[in-house]
Amino acid sequence: MSCMQTISDYGLRALGLGERALPRADITLCEQVVLIGSGLIWNIYFAVIALCFGFFLASSVAFARNSSNPLVWRPAAFFIFVIRGSPLFIQFFLLYEAFVLLPKIGIDINLIFVEITVETRWLTRAWLGATIVLFLNTTAYTAQIFYGALRSVPKGEIEAGKAIGMTTKQINKRIIWPTMLRLSWASYTNEAIFLLHATALVFFSSFPAWRQQGDALYFASYFADKTFNPFVPYPIIAGYFIALTLIVIIIFGWFNRRLNRHISKNH
Amino acid sequence: MNFYTSFLVVFALLAICVPFILLFGFTGALARRSRIAPFRWFGLAYTSMVRGIPDIIFFLFVPIALDQGIEYLRHHAKCSEWTEPIRQGNDFVVCAAAKMPLGPSPQWVHETYGFFLAALAFAIVFGAFAANTLHGALAAVPKNQLETAAAFGMSRKQTFWRIHLPQMWVYALPGLSNLWMILIKATPLLFLLGVEDIVYWARELGGSKTERFAYPHGDWRLGYFLVLLVFYLLLSWVSEKVFARLNFRVSKGQAMIGDQV
């Protein structure tokens, strides 16, 4: 089987397209590279969705954490503490078990709302359930980073905003929020890289890979099991992740330049 | 009962790992500062690999790789008359004398061996993180301090051991405490390496039907995992307090912004 053939058979295997059966015997290098690469689609999907949604919720949570109203900042602080204080791995397990129990509860309470049970069914699937876990996780970590930056926004800038007659909302939106992003961007880049790496955990933490549509690490460990040779699949996936990390660094670097474009280059 | 002792496994892992992490960290940091170029490249590669590659890949890769590597070496040392290739298709075949640990040895030896391989994988990954931190801390010690030492006529070695190293700790502590937090939160990954840790027992005991038994109760896994969550929350909360105190102790006598905390 030529390598082009393998690519068309397995290129989108992680999405369930192409050949159903995974290679079992006489596994070629090409098959390993293609299948692990196709699993990478899931890693990118998890990371992009979680980061995009997490960014906006984290901004709100950071502002909530900074609020002077105890009813607002206490829940925010508690949320950050629980997520940051516990391992992501345990969060995966915990929420998966909770999601598994959900439909039963839904049925027990009222049988009339069949729609609810149908919807909760998706939560046990990795594409939704794991995304929710990753989303909550990155929200808490990012909120903490943003909160730290929020507290170091120079007072002078806020006073200047007040002096030219901006409303509180305008100050928040035009002064505090951009400055907060600017100050925290380096740490946020780190968090994004960590989240990208955390996506490799999804299919190892009770979320089952439905019809063997797993992520890159799922396929890599599948090959390591089948060939009993870890020296091929793991370096392949390592290479993929290094490339992804570099892409993240480049994209975030671009945003960083944009955020800092008003600062003189000498600093 | 196994569930409770498995908490000790977590602490055992932490206790075994920390010295090795510091050792690897120091080696990595010193290699990065070395004047010999290959050492420097090695240090750079070692410290930057953890940034690009998810740690879980190391946890899966290192134990198998080490296991096979050791068996491969023992195979060559002990069974030189063996002519068949070690990799036969999809199998990894070594002679019986080279098996690690030896085939007939009791179950606990196998488990302990697996545990140590896992611990080593942890130490390698977190050693790289520590090397990054220590490298940064070594670079953060004010140059004047070192120049003063040189002016006193101290040798390079003396300067390093008496001035550079003691002062470094202040700068390293925040990073190391952060690392400790990450390490705590990585311990449940032991489960993936086949060690029977708390996650394993939570699944075993909580499930109504497992590989070993069918329990008369329903699905308790949610409850068990909640207990684990609280355990980890407590662990990180206590560590935070301890590090805050430690930081206060270490930065005594240092004029730094951190004093005001």
Q: Which of residues 141-170 of A touch B (CB under 8 A)?
A: none
Query: Is pLDDT above 50 for A146?
Result: yes
Closest Cβ opposite residue A98 in set B61, B202, B222: B222
Candidates A199, A51, A84; CA nearest to A130 is: A199
DSSP annotation of B84 = S
Distance from CA of B232 to the nearest CA of A (A): 5
Which of A29, A32, A144, A197 to mutate to probe the B interface, most B CBs <10 Å?
A: A197
Q: Which residues of A touch B64 (CB under 8 A)?
A: 224, 230
Q: Return the structure tokens found at A78.
A: 């508690």
Enumerate chain B positions whose Cβ falls within 8 A of a Cβ in A: 51-57, 60-61, 64-65, 68, 87, 89-92, 184-189, 191-192, 199, 202-203, 206, 219, 221-222, 225-226, 228-229, 232-233, 236-237
Quick: pLDDT tens for A185-207: 988 998 999 899 988 888 876 67
A224 touching B, CB under 8 A? Answer: yes
Q: What pLDDT is attached to residue A107?
A: 47
Q: Which residues of B touch A97 (CB under 8 A)?
A: 206, 219, 221-222, 225
ipTM of the complex in this document: 0.75
Query: Is pLDDT above 50 for A242?
Result: yes
Q: Does residue B143 or residue A10 have the better pLDDT?
A: B143
Q: Does residue A144 or residue A94 have the better pLDDT?
A: A144
Alpha carbon A253 to chain centroid distance? 19
User: What distance, in Å, lies between the first and last C-alpha atoms of chain A?
Assistant: 57
Q: What angle do CA B233, B235, B239 make, to 5 degrees?
A: 115
Cross-strand pairs, B114? none
Q: What pLDDT is attached to residue B83?
A: 62
Asked whether the beta carbons of A228 and B92 are under 8 A apart, the reply is yes
| Cβ contact A94–B87 (<8 Å) | no
Q: Which residues of A touch B178 (CB under 8 A)?
A: none
Cis peptide before B142 (omega within 30 of 0): no
A251 touching B, CB under 8 A? Answer: no
Strand, coil or helix: what is B92? strand
Q: Which residues of A touch B186 (CB under 8 A)?
A: 87
Q: What pLDDT is attached to residue B99?
A: 65
Largest CA distance in chain A: 74
Strand, coil or helix: what is A224? helix
A89 touching B, CB under 8 A? Answer: yes
Calpha distance B13→B226 (Å, rounded): 22
Query: Is pLDDT above 80 for A252?
Result: yes
Calpha distance A108→A55 (Å, rounded): 36
Which of A42, A83, A89 to mutate to probe the B interface, most B CBs <10 Å?
A: A89
Q: For residue B154, how many C-alpha atoms fall within 13 Å in the half-sphere facing its CB?
A: 16
CB atoms under 10 Å from CB of B122, counted, come to 27
Quick: pLDDT tens for A26-65: 677 788 888 888 888 889 999 999 999 999 999 999 999 9
- For B214, phi then psi, to 5°, come to -110, 115
Give residue A229's identity as a one-letter amino acid code.
N
A40 touching B, CB under 8 A? Answer: no
Q: Which residues of B touch A196 (CB under 8 A)?
A: 54
Q: pLDDT class for A247, splitting at 50, 70, 90?
A: very high
Calpha distance B183→B188 (Å, rounded): 10
Q: Return the structure tokens found at A93.
A: 């397990």
Q: What angle do CA B114, B120, B122 make, to 5 degrees?
A: 105
Alpha carbon A153 to chain centroid distance? 27
Using CA atoms, how far residue B179 sits from A28, A184, A198, in Å, is 39, 20, 16
Q: What pLDDT is attached to residue A7?
A: 75
Q: Does residue B169 or residue A113 have the better pLDDT?
A: B169
Q: Which residues of B touch A227 (CB under 8 A)?
A: 90
Q: For residue B9, how many C-alpha atoms fall within 13 Å in the half-sphere facing its CB?
A: 25
Distance from CA of B120 to the nearest CA of A (A): 17
Task: Please indicate, yes or no, whether the overall pTM of this predicted structure exceeds 0.95.
Answer: no
Q: Which residues of chain B have pLDDT under 50?
A: 257-261
Which of A28, A32, A42, A93 to mutate to probe the B interface, most B CBs <10 Å?
A: A93
Give me the DSSP letters along B190-249: GGGGT---HHHHHHHHHSSB-SS-B-SS---HHHHHHHHHHHHHHHHHHHHHHHHHHHHH
Asked whether the beta carbons of B231 and B7 are under 8 A apart, the reply is yes
| Cβ contact A241–B237 (<8 Å) | no
DSSP annotation of A25 = S
| Cβ contact A245–B219 (<8 Å) | no
Asked whether the beta carbons of B18 and B209 are under 8 A apart, the reply is no
| Mean of pLDDT over chain A | 82
Q: Does residue A236 or residue B88 have the better pLDDT?
A: A236
Q: Which residues of B touch A100 (CB under 8 A)?
A: 219
Calpha distance A128→B82 (Å, rounded): 53
Scored b (16 or more CB within 10 A) or e, B67-104 reads: bbeebeebbeeeeeeeeeebeeeeebebbeebebeeee
Residue range A71-80: average pLDDT? 91
| Cβ contact B225–A94 (<8 Å) | yes
| Cβ contact A224–B185 (<8 Å) | no
Q: pLDDT class for A116, splitting at 50, 70, 90?
A: very low
Q: Which residues of B touch A193 (CB under 8 A)?
A: 51
